Amino acid sequence: MITGSGNKYMSTVRIDERNASADVWWCEGKQEYHWQLVWEDGGPYGTHVASGIATTKDQARADIVRTIIWTEDTWPRIEYFDNNR
């Protein structure tokens, strides 16, 4: 797992192999890659899930990395919660 950039406002979350898992898989029926990132915040909010669809495996992996970095940069500001409804 890749550790992201770190939260520039509060160092309250680091997403790595201790608190997260990520997976990429091929969906034969839809002919596309699906990805999912699950992480624990260690606090009152609990488990978080981000997922998406990509045309290539490399794109799916890049989306996971971007999601990790964005989460570490925005957690726990309202911006994180507003964009994850």
Of 65, 70, 13, residue with least CA distance to 80: 70
Per-residue pLDDT at 8 exceeds 80:
no
More confident residue, 7 or 45: 45
What pLDDT, on the 0 to 100 scale, is given for residue 9?
A: 46
Of 4, 23, 26, residue with least CA distance to 14: 4
Amino acid at 54: A
Query: Quick check: is 65 in a domain?
Result: yes
The boundaries of the domain holding residue 68 are: 20-82
Contact indicator for 5, 13 with CB cutoff of 8 Å = no
What pLDDT, on the 0 to 100 scale, is given for residue 49?
A: 95
How many folded domains does the chain comprise?
Answer: 1
Query: Quick check: is 10 in a domain?
Result: no
Residue 75 C-alpha from the chain's centroid: 12
pLDDT, one tens digit per residue, over 53-70 is 999 999 999 999 999 999
Query: Quick check: is 63 in a domain?
Result: yes
pLDDT, one tens digit per residue, over 36-53 is 999 998 877 789 999 999
Which tokens belong to 70?
A: 């964005």
Query: Quick check: is 15 in a domain?
Result: no
